[in-house]
Amino acid sequence: MLELMLCSMVTVLPDYLFRRYVQDKRIGREINLYTVWYELRWGITACLLLTVSLITLIFYFHPSTSNVTAIFRTVTILPESTGRVAEVFVDINSKVKAGQPLFRLDSSQQEAAKEIAQRTIAETIAESTVAQTELVAADGIIQQAQGAYQQALDELATKQELLRTNTVSVREVERLQISADGRKGALDAAIANKQTLETKIATLLPAQKASAEAALAQAQVELDKTTVRAGIAGTVQQFALRAGDVVNTMIRPAGILVPEEAGRGTLIAGFGQIEAQVMKVGMIAEATCIGKPFKIIPMVVVDVQDVIAAGQFRATDQLIDVQQIARPGTLTVFLQPLYPGLLDGVPPGSSCIANAYTNNHERLHAPDIGTGEWIYLHVVDAVALVHAMILRLQAVMLPVQTLVLTGH
């Protein structure tokens, strides 16, 4: 309507003034309800053509959309394992900080595993103490075996000297030789036993202790998992757990955590696909949100998604017909306020209306620009004012439409 009124000012109105004051035709006589088309046909035709051209020019180079939302992502409150709730620390709509406990699951199994690991460590330490005592005893056994072996060697040497004088029998000497060899074996066994104890103290028992400590650390981790904590600061929503409830990691989450900064710094807009060649990073934009009425928020385009979400494909066991994608998706654009704090007061999830404005300042100052292009780009930049006026009218009418016309 606004474009039609503007176009009529330079088409229908001059045509009427020419008919009225140059041709001396008057409304109600020559220009009446039946002859209005014939008398003003040139102005009406030009007005319609200019209106269509102006609307096309405005909406293409200065796109507008009502698909704008302060989208935010929530964090699901979910333990890493299924369990029964033993204690709840917060309530619905509670403000929590990162790392703050939310609830605790029954931890009897994890505490038992931790107790077993602690006792295993204690057993390993006690076994190491016993092994140290056995090592001292092994030294005594080695000394005893060395003394017995040396005594057997001395007796064997004495009997061998007597054998030369035929004082003792050969059988007696052989018996002493076998006895010395046996005591030598006992000495070797005592030495090997000491080496075994030393290896056990130096390698086996430390390894067993390290394994027990690792089991204790794992048990402590599993025990810590039973206390579910907030991963980020925010507000707890849809949280109705009570002691005795069973929380399932697959089908029954405990609630939702809305981060503090969720949806408070960026607006996500869906523009028509036809504006894909126009939307550029750095474009100036404006938005008005129903959560902050009568306010025009200056924005800037910080990112333009290079894919259309509606064309997303996921492999399934059924062939997908392209015809099933009935709605042509929109071009996702990310908008941020031009100055910090401009989105304060806009609740996350608010619906908004946004305009983006093409700026040809650099092209207009190019040294090789032609006159026709210079005029055309000036027209493109100038008609942005029309869209800005429309957005301000929408900002005024949006609360009226919401509260009065729709009865909400």
Q: For 40-49, 281-290, 334-343, which range has the lowest pLDDT when averaged over its residues? A: 40-49
Mind listing the pLDDT tens digit for each residue in 215-249? 889 988 888 888 888 888 888 888 888 888 888 77
407 pLDDT more than 60: no
In a domain, 22, yes or no: yes
- Residue 57, domain member (yes or no): no
**Tell me, what's the pLDDT at 55?**
82
pLDDT given at position 326: 61
Q: Which residue has the higher pLDDT, 288 or 3?
A: 288
Tens-place pLDDT, residues 258-308? 888 777 888 999 998 888 888 889 899 999 988 888 899 999 999 998 888
Amino acid making up residue 151: Q
With respect to residue 53, please indicate whether it lies within any of the assigned structural domains. Answer: no
For the beta carbon of residue 299, count every other beta carbon within 10 angstroms.
Answer: 27
Model's pTM, two decimal places?
0.68
Residue pair 346/261 in contact (Cβ under 8 Å)? The answer is: no
In terms of residue numbers, what domain contains 370? 62-72+263-311+325-400
For residue 286, give the CATH number of its domain: 2.40.30.170
pLDDT digits (tens, 9 = 90+) for 341-393: 888 888 888 889 999 998 888 888 888 888 888 888 888 888 888 888 888 88
Instruction: Give yes or no: residues 375 and 307 share one domain.
Output: yes
- Are 112 and 99 members of one domain? no
